[in-house]
Homo-oligomer: A and B are copies of this chain.
């Protein structure tokens, strides 16, 4: 047995690059990418990737070099998911909602060799580059040179906006369509670098291997049962865990990528209706955009649209509304470190007979491990014991498998901390139900312990969401002289709301939860404080909540008791994918 050795015929490194090469052969003339008036076939997309990869090589890009990009969901960003690793390099798609300082830090930390910038983000990138120059001047160990900047103009309607001398299409034009790409020598080689924002600590550079990316992609197209020829709308930013691996996955399935620059209600409805979208991913906040669209923004949905959602646990009531609108929602749980979704709420046919309300509750669970995740569990970190499958006992969610990141770039300490006794510790708190399905209860730091009782702020938020006037809600711990901690609720009301008081909300709570869980205080905000990636900054809320006890007359300069003008909601692209953990 032991004499049978690996050879190039029977041991080929696992890599998502297989998918694009295969797509060029199998799905040759099928539409690969649609963006406004632009359409490509899989043969064209593959050739554009080959051209770009060969141009990158001729720019002296070599193995392990980082290529950063700041762009919305345009074809160029999609192509880079293949072209960059084809050149042997590592793709770093930067969150477009970060500020210049953060972007400069990422370019510096990753030592990016090339920096692609969509024309829309030229002002932001210029500022980041200015900060980076200043940074480098102050760094003694300045063996890192500034990145080569290449602008990505709009491919549908070129604007002429430039930053530096090179434009993306020039690289495509001068590239070699017959360039075959570098062979992936080792499937452990790096393919992508994604920075986490992290609600609790500094950004970290998460590195994926070709192996991990390949296996996650395989698992997710399978776990979501993405069948042949999907029409996939890019409502999820590709910079979120490489679009939860569906950048690679749509190529694997020979699907069509519908690229959209913004996730406004009208743009999404138009794309869904016009291109007969079958699949989309998004954070639950996008549900609100779709649900609250004005009549003239809406279009009839004739195709069956499957939604994979993740990030914040979606309140069952929201899920129910989406189903009523004709969407088929699947819920996933994951994080950057797990190459996107690691668990999906796999539907069981026996649930079909349950009430819609009950179904929505089951759907809001995080579910079970995808096929390439070897193990998931909920453990007490101190003892490494698994919690019982009782749906009640909380512990930390731990994962294990080949789709878990290689580690944090240049951060041995954090890498070691994340990998503990053979498991990756997510920092999230969950329970296991008797049927083996996992349900997230909270971020580690968001459990409220009141009089010895654990209160999940997520659970409490889920009740608040059921109130017809509440748009957003966040619950944090507030110090309490008697109970140690008490829940404090921060809520943002809907535009249509009239005269809702704290008492109204509390009444609703008392009706829908055990007494000990009812918030001791409800505070109305104009908007919730959020990070660059749209995560609610619970730390900020905790600070405010803390001040309530010391003095009820805290400084609330940015707080407006009831905010009645929320038209910004549909206008401000920054808010669109808020709350996403992924």
- Going nearest first, the 8 A-B pairs with the smallest beta carbon separation are A4-B406, A8-B422, A4-B407, A12-B374, A10-B404, A25-B436, A26-B368, A9-B419
User: A137 contacts the other chain (Cβ, under 8 Å)?
Assistant: no
User: A58 contacts the other chain (Cβ, under 8 Å)?
Assistant: no
Q: With A1-B190, A346-B26 as known contacts, state yes or no: A402 contacts B11, CB within 8 Å.
A: yes
Contact with B along A77-99 (1 / 0, CB 8 A): 00000000000001000000000
Please tell me if the beta carbons of A371 and B9 are within 8 angstroms of each other in the complex: no
Q: How far is the CA of A188 from the CA of B6 in the complex (A)?
A: 8
Q: With A1-B90, A374-B18 as known contacts, state yes or no: A435 contacts B28, CB within 8 Å.
A: yes
Please tell me if the beta carbons of B228 and A347 are within 8 angstroms of each other in the complex: yes
For this complex, 30 residue pairs linking A to B, each with C-beta atoms less than 8 Å apart, are A1-B64, A1-B90, A1-B190, A4-B415, A5-B406, A7-B419, A7-B422, A9-B399, A9-B400, A9-B419, A9-B423, A10-B401, A10-B402, A10-B404, A10-B405, A12-B400, A14-B372, A18-B371, A18-B372, A18-B374, A19-B371, A25-B436, A26-B369, A26-B436, A26-B437, A29-B435, A218-B218, A225-B227, A225-B228, A229-B349
User: A3 contacts the other chain (Cβ, under 8 Å)?
Assistant: yes
User: A503 contacts the other chain (Cβ, under 8 Å)?
Assistant: no
User: A287 contacts the other chain (Cβ, under 8 Å)?
Assistant: no
Q: CB-CB < 8 A to A371: which residues of B?
A: 18-19, 22, 218, 252
User: A232 contacts the other chain (Cβ, under 8 Å)?
Assistant: no
Residues A203-259 near B (CB distance < 8 A):
207, 212, 215, 218-219, 221-222, 225, 227-229, 252, 254
- Minimum distance in angstroms from A368 CB to a CB of chain B: 4
Chain A interface main SS type: loop
- Minimum distance in angstroms from A365 CB to a CB of chain B: 12
Instruction: Identify 7 new A-B residue pairs, CB closer than 8 A, beyond the known A10-B424, A18-B374.
Output: A7-B419, A9-B399, A14-B372, A22-B369, A218-B371, A225-B227, A229-B349
Q: How far is the CA of A269 from the CA of B289 in the complex (A)?
A: 51
Q: How far is the CA of A74 from the CA of B105 in the complex (A)?
A: 62
A interface residues, Cβ below 8 angstroms from B: 1-12, 14, 18-19, 21-22, 25-26, 28-30, 64, 90, 188, 190, 207, 212, 215, 218-219, 221-222, 225, 227-229, 252, 254, 346-349, 368-369, 371-372, 374-375, 399-402, 404-407, 409-410, 412, 415, 419-420, 422-424, 435-437
Q: CB-CB < 8 A to A2: which residues of B?
A: 64
Q: CB-CB < 8 A to A219: which residues of B?
A: 218
Q: How far is the CA of A252 from the CA of B19 in the complex (A)?
A: 22
- For residue A406, which residue of chain B has the nearest CB? B4
Q: How far is the CA of A436 from the CA of B22 in the complex (A)?
A: 10
Please tell me if the beta carbons of A207 and B1 are within 8 angstroms of each other in the complex: yes
Please tell me if the beta carbons of B227 and A424 are within 8 angstroms of each other in the complex: no
Q: How far is the CA of A466 from the CA of B347 in the complex (A)?
A: 44
Q: CB-CB < 8 A to A190: which residues of B?
A: 1, 4
- For residue A8, which residue of chain B has the nearest CB? B422
Q: CB-CB < 8 A to A436: which residues of B?
A: 25-26, 28
Q: CB-CB < 8 A to A372: which residues of B?
A: 14, 18, 218
- Minimum distance in angstroms from A230 CB to a CB of chain B: 11
Copies of this polypeptide in the complex = 2
- For residue A403, which residue of chain B has the nearest CB? B10
Q: How far is the CA of A400 from the CA of B22 in the complex (A)?
A: 13
- For residue A408, which residue of chain B has the nearest CB? B4
- For residue A217, which residue of chain B has the nearest CB? B371
- Minimum distance in angstroms from A31 CB to a CB of chain B: 11
Q: CB-CB < 8 A to A404: which residues of B?
A: 9-10
Q: How far is the CA of A346 from the CA of B25 in the complex (A)?
A: 12
Q: CB-CB < 8 A to A1: which residues of B?
A: 64, 90, 190, 207, 409
Q: CB-CB < 8 A to A369: which residues of B?
A: 22, 26
Q: CB-CB < 8 A to A207: which residues of B?
A: 1, 4
Q: CB-CB < 8 A to A3: which residues of B?
A: 407, 410, 412
- For residue A29, which residue of chain B has the nearest CB? B435
Q: How far is the CA of A437 from the CA of B437 in the complex (A)?
A: 41
Q: CB-CB < 8 A to A7: which residues of B?
A: 419, 422
Q: How far is the CA of A64 from the CA of B1 in the complex (A)?
A: 7
Please tell me if the beta carbons of A10 and B406 are within 8 angstroms of each other in the complex: yes
Q: How far is the CA of A520 from the CA of B5 in the complex (A)?
A: 48
- Minimum distance in angstroms from A86 CB to a CB of chain B: 15
Q: CB-CB < 8 A to A227: which residues of B?
A: 225
Q: How far is the CA of A252 from the CA of B207 in the complex (A)?
A: 28
Q: How far is the CA of A437 from the CA of B1 in the complex (A)?
A: 35
Q: CB-CB < 8 A to A22: which residues of B?
A: 368-369, 371
Q: CB-CB < 8 A to A212: which residues of B?
A: 10
- Minimum distance in angstroms from A395 CB to a CB of chain B: 16
Q: With A1-B207, A207-B4 as known contacts, state yes or no: A424 contacts B26, CB within 8 Å.
A: no
- Minimum distance in angstroms from A409 CB to a CB of chain B: 7
Q: How far is the CA of A28 from the CA of B190 in the complex (A)?
A: 37
Q: How far is the CA of A222 from the CA of B227 in the complex (A)?
A: 8
- For residue A24, which residue of chain B has the nearest CB? B436
- For residue A30, which residue of chain B has the nearest CB? B348
- Minimum distance in angstroms from A16 CB to a CB of chain B: 10
Please tell me if the beta carbons of A12 and B401 are within 8 angstroms of each other in the complex: yes
- Minimum distance in angstroms from A384 CB to a CB of chain B: 13
- Minimum distance in angstroms from A139 CB to a CB of chain B: 20
